[in-house]
Amino acid sequence: MLAIVAPGQGAQTPGFLTPWVENPVFRDRLTWLSAVAGLDLVHYGTEADADTIRDTAVAQPLLVASGLLAALELFPHPADAFDQVGAVAGHSVGELTAAAGARAITAEQAMVLVRQRGNAMAAAAQQTPTSMTAVLGGDRDEVLAKLEQHGLTAANDNGPGQIVAAGTVEQLAAFAEDPPAKARLVPLSVAGAFHTQHMGPAVEVLAGLARSVSTHDARIPLISNRDGQVVHDGREVLKRIVTQISSPVRWDLCMETMLDLGVTGMLEMPPAGTLTGIARRAMKGVETFALKTPDQLDDARAFIEKHGGRTHLDTNPTWRMLVAPAKGTFHQTADLPEGSSIAPDTRVGAVQGRQDETAITAPYGGTIVEWLVEDGDLVSPGQPLIRLHPEGVNA
């Protein structure tokens, strides 16, 4: 099974798009997305220096655009991806790239959202001096306890030995004077404490925009970086894109879900290297491919052919489906036979995992055409549970 992932802010380097824009088709597409974003992304991806592209309002649109356009080079007919990609995921802002790749939102919607996301997060960061520090090594429980002691948030949990602490400059300074045992601290050159409560104002901005965004159910299983759950409903995908701005990124859980799904190959969109590097340490046995330059495209296509294949997700848009968000045991709500109609937000069951139970609700309602699992069945992430027809909904 193939997973395609998109990196987050910090992966960009000066001139990383230079070899890509030598292709006139890629350059024209980037010019179009530049018009949507209101930024000269050709300039920022080829000529701007490191300080310029570190700016949140520049970095985020640049990253999303580069990932989307590289995906189009791999899949000139996007529907081809639906038969080959088993899952998509994005780290932080990369989730917008993933959502557009899964067709939950359009590329243009993604660029508008990321433009406003970057501007709003940059503005929120100016309200209070905040920053982030990578914590490398140390005992996980001890690291988390020390962060709590200093009022810090584990803004990114990237797997064993890789946690990013975020908070005020004063909190981070005190943390540096009192670090966890056997851990190395690396201050990050970022504009603020992303994925913490300090980004609350940015959440409000994006939430206002999201109310006018039309969505579609994801055509490829999308793994949410908030909790590693597989999300299928387009409105839920959009909701998570908004709320993740102030929520920690749990990339460790995303990788666990990929392993649960049976992923054998991970391909990272440009500017690639960060997520494949983490995977090599945390996902033993999974082959990785970091797509950095266009001269790798033929090898990337061979990698896709090697690992790609259809998933059990029925992407026929005639039907609406509910899928399991995680692995566990499915427990069906009683008195919901096939042929009955259910109202929006009806609970149809729950998936009991190792630690938590996740309720399954039908956000759009419909007629139950077919139960695809039975009460007590073990289910995997993204596995279809119930097929609904949009007609016959009880208001």
CA-to-CA dists, residue 46 to 27, 53, 61, 63, 297, angstroms: 11, 10, 14, 13, 19
| 195 is known as an active-site residue | yes
Q: What is the largest CA-CA distance in the chain?
A: 64
Distance of CA 110 to the CA centre of its chain: 12
Residue 117 and residue 359: Cα distance in Å, rounded?
Answer: 30
For residues 200 and 153, what is the distance between their CA atoms, to the nearest angstrom? 14
Strands 366-371 and 341-342: antiparallel
List, in order, residues 6 or more apart from 199 with CB less than 8 Å away.
Answer: 121, 124, 125, 192, 193, 245, 246
Active-site annotation holder among 92, 131, 224, 246: 92
Q: Is 331 considered catalytic here?
A: no
Measured between its terminal Cα atoms, the distance across the chain in Å is 40
Pairwise CA distance, residues 269 & 85, whole Å: 13
Q: Which of 195, 198, 232, 307 is catalytic?
A: 195
Annotated active-site positions, please? 92, 195
